Every structure is written in structure tokens, then in C-alpha cells.
Amino acid sequence: MPADIFLTPADWLPPTVVKAADALADGLVTHDEARAMGYERLPVSAAGSAPELAVRAGRAALARAGTRPEAVRTVLHAWTYYQGHDFWSPAHYVARHTGATSAVPVGIQQMCNGGAAGLEVALARLVAEPDHGPVLVTTGDRFGAPGFDRWGSDYGVWYGDSGTAAVLARGGERTDHALALRALVTEAAPELEVVHRDLDRFQEAAHAAGPTVDVRRTKKAFLTGTGREPFVAQLRETTSRVVAGALAQARLAPEDRSVRAVLLPRLGTATAREIYGPAVAAVTEAPAVDLGCDTGHLGAGDLLSNLAALRGSGRWSLRAGEHAVVLSAGAGFTWSGVVVQRP
């Protein structure tokens, strides 16, 4: 990993929120589901589309990085769900409306690991072409009805709307909002693509199988055939390898006290307790931290939003010299571990 790669993250969450207590009162979730999730509210975009949320975050990241939009050479936009038009390139929209009109826009569809995939492509570009200008990575997701039920389309996951972004560049001038990128490790298990695939048939068009996305159906079919414990064991083992690999790439020992925390995908307290917590504890003494209480799962945006929290003003903001590991995971399956350091 080159020592001079820096990223400046930002996120933009809609100001409108829906409380879990209200969802419970309206019968959208059960008491058991609310208890297992442990989250309090979700940001909900009343009007803005997913790419519009990404543009807001992208503009914020550019401003924090002190980067002129016209200096950006590549825009990488990732997403999980519908972008507002059926046959269209949201990456080009993001480039246009952030002012990055000299950039080459590229769309990334790696489900909820899309933010990490964007960082990986950006890193490869900056390493392959040391004189390449800044890269803007964005994500945007809006999980709106009727196509998606943010409370009930999936097992154990509540979905919030967001735009997230990061500006990556080599060396040079950097603002107080920057983080040094010390490691990025990714591992995949393509045999698990079936977890999110309808086993009956491939459909001819979106929502042909039903008006609302139903991830519960595909997950139930998969777990009925394989059993839950082997699946959970694989998730834990792979997560442990990714965390260990990222620490090794950053040349950090498992007990290194400069590692402030391991930030988890925002998938709920039960998932953190049963899968990610044990997986992290197996390879490092750093605490596993879930920042999803007020956001829920942000689709492709969990990673970049967690990175933004590390340079924010909250409890987990890094101090000079401190490191953090940020985990990302997505359907497919793909896992990434990112290590950053506050300069």
C-alpha cells in the first residue's frame, strides 16, 4: 500500500426520520424484530432520489478536501437499489451535478460492498497512474415504497436512505478532514450468490416476481437447504480473515493500542453480537462498534459513512496517529476491510 494515499469522506442523511417505535406501533415490525435490531430510527428521503443524495455527499466531500470539481479525473458511483430511472447511467449524473465534468464516470454494482469496491478501483487507478488527478467515490441509496419495504423486505436488516462520498488523492495538499489509507483487503465467496437469487427462475423484468423486493424468500430457501450454522460459521471465518489481513497489510499487530475500533456494517445489534463481534474478537483486541442506531443499514453507503464518522465530532472520531478498521460486506458475497489513520 503506498504511503501517500489520502481520502476525505462525507455523508448526507435526509433530515426526515422514521422512528422504530412508530414502525412498531404501526405494525411494520414485531417486538421481537425491534429487540433484535436495537436501532432507534431511519433516515428517509421524502423526495430526493438516490443519485441526488449522492450528489449532496459528493459536493460535501469535495469541499472538505479542498478539491475543485473540475480537477476530478474519475467518478465512481456505487449503489444497491433503484436509482430513479430504468435505463440510464447514474454515475454520469453524479459527475455532472457535482461539477466533475472533466471526469470519466463509472458505475459500480457490487451490492452493499459497493463503497469498498469504489475505493478499491480508485486506489488501483491512483497506483497505476501516479499523476492521475483526484478520484471521487460516491454511493446513493433510497429504499422507498412500493418497490422496497425498508422494514420488512429483508431478515434482520432495516434500510435507511443516504448519500456518501470520499475524495481520494495521492499526497499533496490535504485538509484536516483527510484520513491516510493504510490497507484495503477484499475477499469474495461467489458460491453464496444464491442467497439473494430466486431459485425458481430468472425474471424478464424488475419486480416480475412481485411488486416488492422480498429478500426473505430467497434467504429462507437457501437456509432451508444448507442450515443456518454452516452459513454463520462461514461469515465469521471470512470476516476474521479480512480483518486480520487488513491489519497485517497495515503492519499493525492485533494488540496494537493505536487501533481505536473496528467499525461494523450497520446490520443490527443481533448480527453484531452473533457474527461480527466474535469474528473481530478472534483477531484483534480493538472493540467492535456498530454506528447504525440512528441510520439503519445504508446499502452501499455503510463503509463511507463509517469513515466520515472517524473524521467527525462524535465519540469515535480519531485522534492524530490513531487507526481504525472499517468493515464492509455485501451480497454475493464480498467482504472488505479498510484500515485508515488520522495523520
Whole-structure pTM value: 0.97
Which stretches within the chain are classed as H helix? 20-25, 31-37, 50-65, 90-98, 114-128, 215-226, 228-249, 269-271, 277-281, 302-310
Report how far apart, in Å, the C-alpha atoms of 99 and of each of 21, 57, 59, 67, 266 are.
40, 13, 9, 11, 31
pLDDT in tens, 100-149: 999 999 999 999 999 999 999 999 999 999 999 999 999 999 999 999 99
Q: In this structure, what DSSP letter does residue 231 have?
A: H
Q: What is the pLDDT of residue 172?
A: 67
Write the DSSP assignment of 191-228 as a string of letters.
Answer: GGGGGGS-SS---SSTTTT-SS--HHHHHHHHHHHH-H
Predicted local confidence at residue 175, as pLDDT: 76
- 65 neighbors 175 (Cβ within 8 angstroms): yes
180-341 belongs to which homologous superfamily?
Thiolase/Chalcone synthase (3.40.47.10)
Residue 201's pLDDT is: 87
Evaluate whether 169 touches 234 at the Cβ level (below 8 Å): no
Q: Which residues of 66-90 are buried (b: 16+ CB within 10 A; e: fewer)?
A: ebebebbbbbbbbbbbbbeeeeeeb
Residues (pLDDT < 70) of the chain are: 172-173
In the CATH hierarchy, which top-level class contains the domain 5-178?
alpha beta
Residues of the chain with CATH 3.40.47.10: 5-178, 180-341
